[in-house]
């Protein structure tokens, strides 16, 4: 509880609140600009501005964890 989760392409920052923030972390640059892969909410510099999301939602979406069984998809 209350821990951040770091994955190769996304990370989850848990502030101890009920809702944490998910950030895309794969940044690429193209023609002098940068943008974040898979992100639809970038700030002016092209970095992920963060997405409000519950920890459970993050785990289900990015870790393939189903909380009831603990199994994961390949």
Binding site for Zn ion (CB under 5 A): 24, 39, 48
Least spacing, CB of residue 51 vs Zn ion, in Å = 5
Q: Which is closer to Zn ion, CB of 24 or CB of 55?
A: 24
Cα 27 to Cα 59: distance, rounded to the nearest angstrom: 21
| Helix-, strand-, coil-residue percentages of the chain, each rounded to 5 | 10, 35, 55
Least spacing, CB of residue 16 vs Zn ion, in Å = 21
Confirm if 38 and 9 have CB atoms less than 8 A apart: yes
Least spacing, CB of residue 11 vs Zn ion, in Å = 10
């Amino acid at each position: 509880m209350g821990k951040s989760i770091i994955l190769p392409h996304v990370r989850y920052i848990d502030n101890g609140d009920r809702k944490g923030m998910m950030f895309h972390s794969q940044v690429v640059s193209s023609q002098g600009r940068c943008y974040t892969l898979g992100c639809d909410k970038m700030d002016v510099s092209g970095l992920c501005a963060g997405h409000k999301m519950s920890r459970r939602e993050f785990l289900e979406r990015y870790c393939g964890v189903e909380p009831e069984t603990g199994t994961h998809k390949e």
